[in-house]
């Protein structure tokens, strides 16, 4: 799968704003339809073609997100946009123009199994057969045939492909990583799209986790995790030379430290590194430019650093591959130029608004950029930047959602919460319309916990925050210890702290909200996906009276079984998992931090959503907790989606589970709810347990749900 704003923009990390007006005078905001927030966006994933002749984006076609194209002439839009793919099962989420051709490529899995295949589709529609259908000559399965006129380039069963690069210097080709040869390791393949021929560029026999190539697609830098939780990287000075040591990071340093990119000539490596001796660089690190000679000698130069956050993203020249800007994110993400030739452009993009700017693509000649502007109060909008001469011009194209752009959204505010041991936790709060700090009485609140856990919450438009606030809940998201982006000490503070200090941070955030008069202590729910689902289960079993209820989406319940069932292609990360969570041979330890071991303390109602094909947190994880909970007189509802994996990609399934969730929260906390209607019936969801609890949420469930 959120992103950056400018260094010159102020970091709005102040005390939380209290909302507009008085509580007594405020009228309830109209309910925002679930379909607006969780259905298909009108447009997303905007791109400009390398030759600046076309724009492309994802938009619904026959109810499913597909690729749409619009022609450009001298940077101006011409004609009407048109769909060029016709996926009929699952939404397309990752796609690219294929340089030097009239084609696009994209990745797609089957029903959420994350075995992504690579597809190619012609922008100019090919001739159909006599039946009027365009045959998919590359289809290996019935599901692949549902891609219509697209052709599958990697039709191998039980393999996973990742796009590594497309480049104007390699027209009609794509560089991918694929684990066909060995499930646990990814090799680098060059695919000739016209013929489908795949040529091995690099055989990965030592479980390298990252592989970075130069402009000629020679693999120059590789990185892998070590058994002790550290990592190491090697560098190859010439395309056919021997590998030489580049950098070894200890387990303490490995979190923020990694190679980010390689210049087109292979002579410069860009690295996020936190091992420098200077005090200012020893925690969050910085972006370094490492010049390499043919003997492998290194010259390091600091390009940029930030005392509150690690390097987040790298913007490189599309031709030379040299770094031009780097983003950092604390309260809000922002870009910082490292090449003065781009500083003026970043200043101009900053005039779009005070939200978060993400540069999503650029033409090879640099004339046209696509830009995404993300603002918590206005949503996501897409822009075209015309770069020319001494000045540039920004052109607003469209919002991601016309309906969201027309709404008055709630502000998302950043604050710092002090944990019990003094650690500062950056959190984001959204409150309902009419709620005034210090005036309004405390109300119901949902603590939403991010997944990972090695990721973070960010500022910007968040449909879940807006949905819950609209229903009458304050929403709090906290970056607990172990979250990434805040330096190695913050991340390392989460090592072996699952259900312990990591959970204490969440408890401390709830207590803060209670002290601040935001949350009614009897009406706090916990909710999350993946690690956030685990945190939900921990919240209801380790602190059984703190939360009124919980919503767990694809969360693990038993860490012993979870770590025994990780996908083969996660083997390279085993050393990191051993250090940060626990080793498989530490069965008692894993049991002690597993919610399943505390099922006897479960007291409050629980709702669980699970994808049947989840490769990360298999269905067995949810089955276990449900079966154990059924032995107790605690309301537990369980909804399984047979065509989903780690989360809900299909909007019909998202809306169905959110419909049940808001009815569940309304019953437990007293907030508002849009009627469930036929949302469950239109989805693939099946009630596996707690049908009486779910049916009690709405009369519409008298019709048998699912397909």
pLDDT in tens, 252-293: 999 999 999 999 999 999 999 998 655 556 799 999 999 998
Number of residues that make up the chain: 707
- 252 catalytically annotated: no
Low-confidence residues of the chain: pLDDT under 70? 1-26, 125-146, 276-281, 389-390, 698-707
Contacts of 623 (CB under 8 A, 6+ apart): none
Active-site residue among 530, 597, 683, 684? 530
CATH number for 44-335: choose from 1.20.1640, 2.130.10, 1.10.20, 3.40.1000.
Answer: 2.130.10
Q: Tell me how far apart the alpha carbons of residues 428 and 411 are, in angstroms, rounded to a whole number.
A: 10
Burial 654-693 (b: 16+ CB within 10 A, else e): bbbbbbbbbbbbbbbbebebbebeebbbbbbbbbbbbeeb
Chain center to CA of 373? 17
Active-site residue among 187, 614, 643, 679? 614
Determine the pLDDT at residue 27. Answer: 72
Tell whether omega for the bond before 66 is within 30 degrees of 0, i.e. cis. no
User: 2, 373 in Cβ contact below 8 A?
Assistant: no
Homologous superfamily in CATH for domain 530-558+594-707: Alpha/Beta hydrolase fold, catalytic domain (3.40.50.1820)
3-state class of 561 per DSSP?
A: helix
The boundaries of every CATH 2.130.10 domain in the chain are 44-335
Active-site residue among 361, 646, 679, 684? 646
Determine the pLDDT at residue 295. Answer: 81
- 646 catalytically annotated: yes
- 382 catalytically annotated: no
What strands, in cross-sheet order, belong to the sheet with 244-249? 210-213, 219-225, 231-235, 244-249
Number of C-beta neighbours around residue 435 at 10 A: 24
Determine the pLDDT at residue 547. Answer: 98
Number of C-beta neighbours around residue 347 at 10 A: 14
Q: Is 577 exposed, middle or buried (0-12, 13-18, 19+ CB in 10 A)?
A: middle
Cite the DSSP H helix spans in 454-586: 463-470, 488-492, 501-515, 531-542, 559-564, 574-580
Determine the pLDDT at residue 522. Answer: 98
The boundaries of every CATH 3.40.50.1820 domain in the chain are 530-558+594-707
pTM for the model stands at 0.92
Helix axes 531-542, 501-515, angle to 10 degrees: 70
């Amino acid at each position: 799968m959120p992103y950056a704003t400018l260094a010159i923009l102020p970091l709005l990390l102040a005390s939380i704003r209290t909302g507009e007006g008085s509580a007594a005078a405020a009228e309830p905001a109209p309910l925002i339809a679930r379909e607006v927030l969780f259905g298909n966006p009108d447009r997303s994933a905007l791109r400009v073609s390398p030759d600046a002749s076309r724009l492309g984006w994802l938009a619904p076609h026959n109810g499913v997100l597909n690729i749409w194209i619009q022609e450009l002439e001298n940077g101006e839009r011409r004609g009407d946009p048109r769909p060029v793919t016709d996926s009929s099962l699952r939404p397309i989420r990752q796609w690219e123009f294929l340089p030097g051709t009239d084609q696009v490529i994209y990745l797609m899995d089957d029903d959420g199994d994350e075995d992504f295949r690579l597809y190619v589709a012609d922008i100019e529609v090919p001739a159909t057969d006599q039946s009027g259908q365009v045959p998919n000559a590359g289809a290996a399965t019935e599901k692949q045939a549902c891609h219509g006129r697209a052709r599958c380039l990697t039709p191998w069963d039980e393999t996973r492909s990742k796009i590594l690069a497309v480049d104007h210097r390699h027209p009609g080709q794509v560089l991918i990583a694929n684990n066909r040869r060995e499930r646990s390791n990814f090799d680098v393949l060059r695919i000739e799209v016209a013929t489908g021929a795949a040529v091995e560029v690099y055989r990965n026999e030592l479980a390298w986790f990252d592989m970075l190539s130069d402009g000629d697609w020679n693999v120059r830098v590789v990185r892998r995790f070590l058994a002790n939780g550290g990592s190491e990287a090697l560098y190859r000075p010439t395309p056919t030379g021997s590998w030489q040591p580049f950098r070894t990071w200890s387990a303490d340093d490995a979190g923020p430290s990694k190679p980010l990119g390689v210049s087109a000539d292979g002579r410069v490596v860009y690295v996020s590194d936190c091992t420098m001796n200077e005090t200012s660089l020893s925690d969050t690190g910085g972006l370094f430019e490492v010049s390499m000679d043919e003997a492998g000698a290194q010259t390091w130069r600091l390009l940029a650093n930030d005392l509150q956050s690690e390097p987040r993203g790298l913007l490189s020249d599309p031709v030379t591959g040299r770094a031009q800007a780097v983003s950092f994110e604390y309260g809000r993400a922002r870009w910082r130029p490292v090449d003065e030739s781009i500083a003026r452009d970043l200043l101009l993009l900053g005039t779009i608004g005070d939200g978060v700017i993400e540069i999503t693509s650029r033409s090879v000649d640099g004339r046209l950029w696509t830009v995404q502007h993300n603002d918590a109060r206005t949503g996501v909008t897409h822009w075209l930047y015309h770069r020319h001469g001494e000045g540039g011009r920004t052109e607003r194209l469209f919002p991601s959602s016309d309906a969201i752009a027309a709404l008055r959204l709630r502000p998302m505010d950043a604050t710092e919460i002090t944990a019990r041991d003094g650690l500062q936790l950056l959190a984001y709060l959204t409150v309902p319309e009419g709620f005034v700090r210090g005036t309004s009485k405390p109300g119901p609140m949902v603590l939403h916990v991010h997944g990972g856990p090695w990721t973070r919450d960010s500022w910007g438009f968040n449909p879940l925050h807006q949905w819950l606030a609209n229903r009458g809940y304050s929403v709090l998201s906290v970056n607990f210890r172990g979250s990434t982006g805040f330096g190695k000490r913050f991340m390392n503070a989460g090592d072996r702290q699952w259900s312990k200090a990591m959970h204490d941070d969440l408890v401390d955030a709830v207590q803060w909200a209670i002290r601040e008069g935001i949350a009614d202590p009897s009406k706090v729910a916990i909710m999350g996906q993946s690690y956030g689902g685990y945190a939900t289960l921990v919240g209801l079993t380790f602190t059984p009276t703190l939360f009124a209820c919980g919503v767990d989406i694809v969360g693990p319940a038993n860490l012993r079984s979870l770590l025994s069932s990780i996908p083969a292609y996660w083997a390279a990360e085993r050393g990191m998992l051993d250090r940060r969570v626990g080793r498989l041979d530490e069965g008692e330890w894993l049991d002690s931090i597993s919610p399943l071991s505390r099922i006897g303390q479960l007291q409050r109602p629980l709702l669980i959503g699970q994808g049947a094909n989840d490769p990360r947190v298999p269905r067995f994880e949810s089955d276990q907790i449900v079966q154990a909970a059924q032995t107790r007189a605690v309301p537990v509802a369980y909804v399984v989606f047979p065509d989903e994996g780690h989360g809900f990609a299909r909007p019909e399934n998202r809306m169905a589970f959110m419909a049940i969730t808001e009815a569940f929260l309304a019953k437990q906390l007293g907030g508002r709810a849009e009627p469930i209607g036929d949302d469950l019936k239109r989805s693939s969801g099946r009630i596996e347990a707690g049908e009486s609890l779910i049916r009690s949420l709405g009369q519409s469930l008298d019709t048998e749900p699912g397909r």
